[in-house]
Structure 1
Amino acid sequence: MSLYRNTVWFFKGLKEFTKNGFLSASKMFKEDDLEVDCSGRHYMITGANSGIGKCIATEIAKRGGTVHMVCRNPSSAEEAKQDIIDASNNSNIFVHILDLSKPRDVHKFAQDFCKNNESLHVLVNNAGCMFNIRELTEDNLEKNFVTNTLGTYILTTQLLPLIKQSEKPRVVTVSSGGMLVQKLDYTDMQFEKMKPFDGTLAYAQNKRQQLKDKLRTPDEGADTAVWLAVSPAAVQHPAGLFFQDRNPAPTHLPLASTKVTTKEKEEFMTALEELSKKFAG
């Protein structure tokens, strides 16, 4: 990661990613964008038991949506479920236990969900992790990569048939400004060449792959994801964009040399798909 990228990202972060950045951007928000009745629509949120994911789930539940919480930890998930029910007075909240670092389980979960449910209108890929030591799972996959990238990819692609048949479907993937300092590296997806291993850089690379009082609160961090998930205004934009504070935003810093060719993107997606197929049932 170059000194230039670090410097540009640092000043951009101070201006845009902090609480003050949100307060400044929110002055331009249209409040009626979120005056939406979500009754009858089904929303799946990964990592919905805490932080931004819990805030997203709560805001959707308050608007009457049926919420499917996908969480790794059963006890914290049930506790969060009750919090969401209490805050929203909406009992249509369902917990699904899934560890995204286990690709076979992700395949099975998605397939079972499609068989047992008639619709899924919105998928919000929020769950993520950041391990500072390079660790491998029982499937010999690096933990950051398999959780943040491969698991999310499998879940999304396997749920797409159900999502596509639902009315006004959407897939929202929560990212991080840290991805702006990383160039997509499809040749080392599991960070075998990263010496020494750096969990922060690995996390930033994962976010590129997905596409204290100064920091934003979870509610502020969740705002754009909620807007993308429920607002009719959001679908006025083309699919596949990167959003920040309810507006499309660049996916690269100026002059940072993080762009890749179409061929490199295709090779990355091909490698990801081939890896996914190894764990299909």
Structure 2
Amino acid sequence: MSLYRNAIWFLNGIHHYTRKGYEAAAQNFDPKDLEVSVVGRSFMITGANSGIGKAAAMAIAKRGGTVHMVCRNKERAEEAQSDIISQSGNTEVYVHIVDMCQTSKVLEFAEAFKKQHASLHVLINNAGCMVHKRELNSEGLEKNFATNTMGVYILTQTLVPLLQKSRDPRVITVSSGGMLVQKLRVVDLQTEKERFDGVMVYAQNKRQQVVLTEHWARAHPVIHFSVTHPGWVDTPAVSSSMPEFHRMMEGRLRTAEQGADTVVWLALSRAAVRKRSGQFFQGKQDNVRTNDPTASLWICFEMYSCFSGCRS
């Protein structure tokens, strides 16, 4: 990533990714898009105990949807569950404890969920992490890659058959605009060769998510796939993983509800599924494509290799 490209991206972000950027874009939103009831539809949201995930879960529960919260910490998850039920009046909110970094556990959970539930209408891949030092999980995978890419791949790939049985199935993955300053390194997906920088590794993972989304859209045309940048949002994850950025942007970051707005729109609205599947959204606009089928094939080969390892 060049200094020039980084600077241009940051200046663009100041205008478009902040709270003011959201407020300006919101003037063109159609509120009728979200005047929907989703009673009888089921939604799975990873990382749903705080930030964007909790805001999305709350918005869906208030509209009558059945919400499956996939979270790592039981205490925080149950606290968020209680809060969502209390504010929405919807008791169809369930907690599943899964660490998305442990890919074998993700696979185990997804396989069990398929057997226990007749349908799943929407999967929202929201959970993510930014570890600043290179660490491996118990399966020998770099932790950022395991959570942000491999966990997302396994959960989505395993639940595809269940989604395909459902009416109007959708998969939304919460990516990051940071991926725009990174070219996909197809031969170094776990950052073993390059200098390890947590922020850049995270951006690489988010680029990987975009490429996977384009692949899934081609491979599974029955399901509507999308990936979105929520803007710069004031969440516990941002304050803990990027404290200097959080301090610098104090007062200008979007609220969790503003960050979740496009996620909820993609999950609920009829307007969203009129957009072509596989697109990257920024503020309800599908304006970015990587358009690299070779990269898609390579990353899917690598994912499949790791996936096969989890099954063995």
TM-score scaled to structure 2, two decimals? Answer: 0.86
Q: Which amino acid aligns with 1:13?
A: G
Structure 1 segments of 4 or more deviating over 6 A? none
Give the equivalent residue in structure 2 for 1:10: 10
Q: Unpaired segments of 5 or more residues in structure 2?
A: 211-249
Deviation string 1:207-238 (CA, Å, 9 cap, x unpaired) is: 00101211111110000000000111111111
Q: Which amino acid aligns with 1:53?
A: G
Alignment: residue pair count? 273
* 2:303 aligns with one of 253, 272, 276: 272
Q: C-alpha distance in 2, partners of 1:30/1:83?
A: 28
Q: C-alpha distance in 1, partners of 2:255/2:272?
A: 22
How far apart are residue 4 of structure 1 and its match?
2.4
Q: C-alpha distance in 2, partners of 1:68/1:119?
A: 12
Q: C-alpha distance in 2, partners of 1:15/1:272?
A: 36
Give the equivalent residue in structure 1 for 2:200: 201
How far apart are residue 162 of structure 1 and its match?
0.3
How far apart are residue 249 of structure 1 and its match?
2.1
Q: Which amino acid aligns with 2:161?
A: P
CA contact 1:130–1:144 (8 Å) conserved in 2: yes
Alignment partner of 1:96: what SS? strand
Alignment partner of 2:288: what SS? coil
Q: CA RMSD in A?
A: 1.1
Q: C-alpha distance in 2, partners of 1:172/1:158?
A: 15
Q: Unpaired segments of 5 or more residues in structure 1?
A: 252-258
* 1:248 aligns with one of 277, 286, 300: 286
Alignment partner of 1:91: what SS? coil
Q: C-alpha distance in 2, partners of 1:276/1:39?
A: 34
Give the equivalent residue in structure 2 for 1:61: 61
CA contact 1:58–1:88 (8 Å) conserved in 2: yes
How far apart are residue 277 of structure 1 and its match?
1.1
How far apart are residue 265 of structure 1 and its match?
2.4
Give the equivalent residue in structure 2 for 1:262: 293
Deviation string 1:74-124 (CA, Å, 9 cap, x unpaired) is: 000000000101110100000000011111111111110000001100000
Q: Which amino acid aligns with 2:299?
A: F
Whose relative contact order is higher, 1 or 2, with alpha carbons under 8 Å and at least 6 apart?
1
CA contact 1:184–1:260 (8 Å) conserved in 2: no
Q: C-alpha distance in 1, partners of 2:269/2:62?
A: 14
How far apart are residue 194 of structure 1 and its match?
2.3
Give the equivalent residue in structure 2 for 1:254: none
CA contact 1:179–1:208 (8 Å) conserved in 2: yes
Residue identity (%) = 52
CA contact 1:47–1:128 (8 Å) conserved in 2: yes
Give the equivalent residue in structure 2 for 1:224: 262
Q: Which amino acid aligns with 1:274?
A: S
